[in-house]
């Protein structure tokens, strides 16, 4: 499986619309736009998840108006097939395929691993100044960047898009885990896939990323970053039952309120109730912070069947999509 080099859409393709243009692409696609300084490169990756459209919508916005990049910029639209499946932008990855953003730096039989390897081969050959991988969260919430390195380069690029940067030790096979001192690679979570504000985050951030002559300088007028460290990934164990309801569902191993995503990036006090546990209690859940710490009973406790926080915590990437909560995670959290 290779990346297909494709051209900027024609005027007639622009008039037919974004989905119609995506339907003309042969698969994972790569576009290159020469910049004022053609000796330097930057890379924008989007659509690693087919249900996260803000990056592609932002790119489509720029297609409609002539613009000049400060340096030669490359755009990768990775999982076009998933984006077009069924209702456009509703499918994270095809049912018989792995999550493409779990295939970087890993081997597997599916051609999604080949696409991931091809993306990284291009990045290594170009030696770009920076790579941004643009995503949406599955639940509603504010934007944030995710990195595995906390240094000035990652902070400066993050600040082009958002006011929050999360430094994680969790390793899942994501593109951002291939970061290096020479080429910082960041995930940009623009906000919920259904949030209009998320499209604006992608559009405004890309404008800064494409036009700035120096993306590593202090950008006047930008908010200082809120830095968060050591997020914990919280999951329901395999083959267990998850429900979203405003009361406990007896048959479920975990019941979460249907509006739980309203807590995204808000501090919750110790003893706050998160949901309801089933017969397995806390044993139904598991955690991963990438460092072997934060066991489930250090973060939560059960009281009269209710799941409660042991200490003040900030939850984020909370989803109310049951399929994603089960295949990926319930949410991430950092503790006070």
CA distance 83 to 86: 9
Strands 267-268 and 131-137: unpaired
Residue 204 φ then ψ, to 5° = -65, -40
87 forms bridges with which residues in the sheet? none
**Spatial CA neighbour of 136 closest among 45, 198, 84:** 198
Average pLDDT, 10 consecutive residues per value, the chain (336 residues): 89 96 97 96 98 97 88 97 96 95 96 97 97 94 94 94 94 96 96 93 96 84 82 94 96 96 91 96 94 90 96 93 92 90
Q: How far is CA 297 from CA 199, 240, 241, 294, in A?
A: 38, 19, 20, 8
Report the predicted TM-score, pTM, of the whole model to 2 decimal places.
0.91
CA distance 156 to 335: 25
All residues at 6 or more sequence positions from 140 whose CB lies less than 8 Å from its CB, including other chains: 191, 192, 194, 195, 261, 262, 264
């Amino acid at each position: 499986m290779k990346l297909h080099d494709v051209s900027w859409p024609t005027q007639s393709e622009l008039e037919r619309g974004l989905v119609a243009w995506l339907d003309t692409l042969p698969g994972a696609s790569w576009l290159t736009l020469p910049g004022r300084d053609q000796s330097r490169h930057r890379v924008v990756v989007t659509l690693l998840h087919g249900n996260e459209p803000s990056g592609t919508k932002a790119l489509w916005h720029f297609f409609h108006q002539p613009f000049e990049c400060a340096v030669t910029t490359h755009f990768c639209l990775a999982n076009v097939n998933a984006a077009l499946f069924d209702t456009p932008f509703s499918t994270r990855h095809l049912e018989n395929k792995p999550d493409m953003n779990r295939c970087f730096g890993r081997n597997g039989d599916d051609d999604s691993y080949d696409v991931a390897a091809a993306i990284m081969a291009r990045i290594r050959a170009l030696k770009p100044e920076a790579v941004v991988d643009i995503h949406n969260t599955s639940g509603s919430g504010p934007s944030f960047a995710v990195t595995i390195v906390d240094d000035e380069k990652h902070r400066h690029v993050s600040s082009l898009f958002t006011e929050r940067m999360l430094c994680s030790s969790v390793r899942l096979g994501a593109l951002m885990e291939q970061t290096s001192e020479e080429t910082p690679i960041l995930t940009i979570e623009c906000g919920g896939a259904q949030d209009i504000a998320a499209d604006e985050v992608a559009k405004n951030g890309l404008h800064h990323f494409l036009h700035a002559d120096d993306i590593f300088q202090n950008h006047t007028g930008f908010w200082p970053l809120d830095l968060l460290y050591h997020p914990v990934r919280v999951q329901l164990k395999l083959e267990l039952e998850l429900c979203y309801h405003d009361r406990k569902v007896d048959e479920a191993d975990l019941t979460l309120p249907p509006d739980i995503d309203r807590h995204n990036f808000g501090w919750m006090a110790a003893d706050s109730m998160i949901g309801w546990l089933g017969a397995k209690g806390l044993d139904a859940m598991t955690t991963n912070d990438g460092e072997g710490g934060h066991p489930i009973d250090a973060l939560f406790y059960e009281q009269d069947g209710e799941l409660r926080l042991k200490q003040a915590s900030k939850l984020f990437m909370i989803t109310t999509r049951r399929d994603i909560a089960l295949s990926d995670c319930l949410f991430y959290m950092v503790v006070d």
